[in-house]
Amino acid sequence: MGHEAVAAWTFLALDLHDYQYHGPDPDMALSKFRNRGEVAEYSRRLAAEVARRVEALRGRVKWTDELEKALEELRGVLAR
């Protein structure tokens, strides 16, 4: 995945951060999200991407049981 994709995920994280301060915005003037449902869906997508990227690091970092447990817990929440 190239730099453009990383930038897109970063922008999504920043948009979610804006929502944290401004809340839902039907006019989308202060926030990119109209309602909590949109925020929940995009938060799930961002968390799934983080899980995928962490999984890709498995062979390149010291992998511990604690990391494995955290990744399993995240996957469990995403599977709901």
For the chain, the domains span 3-79
Q: What is the pLDDT of residues 34-79, one digit of tens each?
A: 899 999 999 999 999 999 999 999 999 999 999 999 999 999 999 9
Q: 52-64 burial, b for 16+ CB within 10 Å, e for fewer? A: eeeeeeeeeeeee
Structure-block tokens of residue 51: 């899980």
Taking CA atoms, 77 is separated from 44, 52, 54, 64, 74, in Å, by 9, 14, 16, 20, 5
What's the pLDDT at 1? 61
The stretch 23-42 carries a mean pLDDT of 89
